[in-house]
């Protein structure tokens, strides 16, 4: 574990644009989406980092924006939700609800209920979690693949022990591109921290735009840096914010 930490360069808030994923990066993965436990100082830490970076800090998550806002009360900085499709602090990438959203959500809710799986209702899509029934993974994937074929306004988004339907054409790296044009972010070195397959394009974006990505946890990644878990991420952020 220590070997990961010593490799990551210290955070220099004076020239960094900091992009932080939420689940698995700032908070440990929990059995269900609403069971995550927030570190007591998280809101304060984000406020301090936002100030230290001159506003060049954004939370970039697959979660619905309203959920993120609920979890991170006290932090009023930039947030991007629903895998890059909705945002606070910049022009929302997707202005209207995608056509067919409600019908797709209903199909997913009914499917999940009929198989004892967890349905997560999201503002721009939905997720089916199979953490309680890992054997159901391939079947859920096939179901959502079929749904995406009949609903071309959506794409399948794999997550940890879940498959999601998200608006087509939106992504975390797309969000980083938009954010990097905002005055506070302009010309700064991007650092993106994330743990999941949904974070890989954003990690790659940071690597190829003059900065670097930090992959959290095990697994293949394009990121040049790695930290073992959210506790190590918070430790690295606290050290940078105090500098």
Residues annotated as catalytic (active site), given as ranges = 21
Determine the interface stretch with ligand L263DTV3 among 22-30, 46-54, 84-92, 143-151 (rule: CB under 6 A).
22-30
Residue 214 as a binder of ligand L263DTV3 (CB under 6 A): the answer is no
Residue 238 as a binder of ligand L263DTV3 (CB under 6 A): the answer is no
Listed residue (74, 101, 72, 73) closest to 85, CA to CA: 101
Residue 162 as a binder of ligand L263DTV3 (CB under 6 A): the answer is yes
Residue 21 as a binder of ligand L263DTV3 (CB under 6 A): the answer is yes
Residue 127 as a binder of ligand L263DTV3 (CB under 6 A): the answer is yes
Residue 80 as a binder of ligand L263DTV3 (CB under 6 A): the answer is no
Residue 33 as a binder of ligand L263DTV3 (CB under 6 A): the answer is yes
Is the Cβ–Cβ distance between 56 and 185 less than 8 Å?
A: yes
Determine the interface stretch with ligand L263DTV3 among 24-32, 43-51, 88-96, 216-224 (rule: CB under 6 A).
24-32
Q: Minimal distance in Å, beta carbon 23 to ligand L263DTV3?
A: 4
Q: Which residue ranges make up the site for ligand L263DTV3 (CB under 6 A)?
A: 21-24, 29-33, 36, 61-63, 120, 122, 127, 129, 131, 159-162, 164, 196, 198
């Amino acid at each position: 574990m220590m070997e990961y930490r010593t490799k990551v360069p210290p955070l220099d808030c004076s020239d960094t644009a900091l992009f932080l994923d939420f689940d698995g990066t700032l908070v440990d993965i929990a059995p269900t989406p609403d069971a995550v436990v927030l570190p007591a100082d998280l809101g304060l830490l984000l406020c301090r980092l936002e100030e230290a970076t001159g506003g060049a800090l954004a939370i970039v998550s697959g979660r619905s924006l309203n959920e993120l806002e609920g979890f991170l009360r006290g932090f009023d900085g930039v947030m991007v939700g629903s895998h890059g499709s909705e945002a606070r602090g910049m022009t929302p990438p997707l202005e209207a609800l995608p056509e067919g959203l409600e019908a797709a959500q209903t199909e997913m809710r009914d499917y999940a209920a009929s198989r004892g799986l967890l349905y997560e209702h999201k503002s721009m899509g939905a997720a089916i979690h199979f953490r309680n029934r890992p054997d159901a993974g391939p079947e859920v994937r096939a179901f959502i693949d079929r749904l995406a074929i009949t609903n071309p306004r959506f794409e399948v988004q794999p997550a940890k022990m879940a498959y999601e339907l998200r608006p087509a054409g939106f992504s975390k790296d797309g969000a980083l591109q938009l954010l990097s044009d905002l005055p506070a972010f302009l010309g700064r070195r991007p650092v993106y921290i994330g743990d999941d397959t949904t974070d890989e394009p954003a990690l790659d974006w940071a690597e190829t735009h003059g900065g670097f990505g930090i992959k959290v946890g095990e697994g293949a990644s394009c990121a040049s840096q790695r930290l073992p878990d959210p506790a190590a991420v918070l430790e690295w952020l606290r050290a940078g914010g105090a500098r």
